[in-house]
Amino acid sequence: MRSRFDEELSRLSSDLTTMGALCEETILTAVEDLSKGNTDAHQHIAPFVEEIAGKEKAIESQCLKLLLQQQPVASDLRQISAALKMITDMDRIGVQASEIAEIIGFLDGRTGSECEYIRQEAMETIKMVNGAVDAYVKHDVDLANKIIDMDDIVDDLFCKVKAFLIEMITNNPDDGGYALDLLMISKYFEKIGDHAVNIAEWVIFSETGVHKGGA
């Protein structure tokens, strides 16, 4: 009985890892599309997002089944409940990456290269998502804490992007729409960073039983 439960738990863990990997791939593709100015970015991203959504459903029902049938306690319960929360954040990351892809479609092939900060922000976000999934896979609480701290860097970069875009609009009012699109992209990156922080927090919860997000 127990060994079957353990098997199910390890399957849950590997499914979650796969889902995390899909998120990484999605956001990486979005950033690549942005840097190349691919207007059909949305078509690249769509299959990933669909797959992520499918995985979310599958993991969710798997978690519920485990909760009902095995009535886990202590660390097993934490692991499953953290998984339930993490998939929501991962799903949001996928959706937001697809939003970014949609906006890239409106940029008419421009890449936002005027603003170095957007590229930096994208890189930092990728690092955060990567690190959050890594922390989950390796059960690494220290790494998870580092990811939570990294959020400040991304927030800071978002502010820099904002300042840059304000200046851009003042100097070149014709580029207003473009600047706003870039702002949206930057905001989505910032949101993805927040979701990575959430994932990191749930990793810490599942390892230590303490949830940093308060309450």
Partner 1 sequence: MRSKIFRSTFFVAIIVFLSCLVLIMGVLNEYFVNIQEKQLKSELVLASTGVEKSGVSYLKKIKKDSERLTLVAPDGTVIYDTWTDASKLENHGDRKEIKEAFETGIGESHRYSATFTEQTLYYAIKLPSGDVLRVSTVRLTMLTTILGMLQSIAAVIMIAFILSLVLAGIVSKQIAKPLNDLDLDRPLESDTYDELAPLLTKIEHSRREIEWKKEELREKEKEFDAVTQNMDEGMVLINKKHEVVTINPAAKRFYGYTEDPVGKNFLLLDRDVEVSKMIDEAEDKGPSERVKEHQGREYQLHASRITSHQNPIGTVILIFDITEKAFAERNRREFTANVSHELKSPLHSIMGSAELIENGMVKPEDMTRFVGVIRKEASRLVTLIDDIIQLSALDEKKDLPLEEVFIKSFIEEEIETLKPMAEKKNVIVKCTGDEVACNVSKQLLHEIVYNLVDNAIKYNKDNGSVEVNTSSFNSGNFGSAKIVVRDTGIGIPPEHQPRIFERFYRVDKSHSKEGGGTGLGLSIVKHAVQYMNGDVTLESKEDVGTTITVVLPVKN
Contact residues for partner 1 (CB under 8 A)?
A: 10, 13-14, 17-18, 20-22, 24-25, 133, 137-138
- Tell me how far apart the alpha carbons of residues 179 and 58 are, in angstroms, rounded to a whole number: 39
Q: By C-beta, is 57 or 138 nearer to partner 1?
A: 138
- How would you class 204 by CB atoms within 10 Å of its CB: exposed for 0-12, middle for 13-18, buried for 19 or more? buried
Instruction: Give every CB contact of residue 127 below 8 A, 6+ residues apart in sequence.
Output: 150
- Tell me how far apart the alpha carbons of residues 167 and 174 are, in angstroms, rounded to a whole number: 13
* Closest by Cα among 86, 165, 85 to 121: 165
Q: By C-beta, is 132 or 168 nearer to partner 1?
A: 132
Min dist. Cβ of residue 66 to partner 1 (A) = 18
Q: By C-beta, is 12 or 67 nearer to partner 1?
A: 12
Q: What is the largest CA-CA distance in the chain?
A: 69
Min dist. Cβ of residue 194 to partner 1 (A) = 22
Min dist. Cβ of residue 25 to partner 1 (A) = 4
Min dist. Cβ of residue 37 to partner 1 (A) = 22
Q: By C-beta, is 18 or 70 nearer to partner 1?
A: 18
Q: By C-beta, is 13 or 70 nearer to partner 1?
A: 13
Min dist. Cβ of residue 11 to partner 1 (A) = 9
- Tell me how far apart the alpha carbons of residues 119 and 61 are, in angstroms, rounded to a whole number: 37
Instruction: Give every CB contact of residue 72 below 8 A, 6+ residues apart in sequence.
Output: 5, 66, 79, 80
Q: By C-beta, is 13 or 88 nearer to partner 1?
A: 13
Distances (CA, A) of 103 to 27, 31, 83, 123, 159: 14, 12, 30, 18, 20
- Tell me how far apart the alpha carbons of residues 40 and 49 are, in angstroms, rounded to a whole number: 15
Min dist. Cβ of residue 206 to partner 1 (A) = 16
* Closest by Cα among 109, 215, 213, 119 to 161: 119
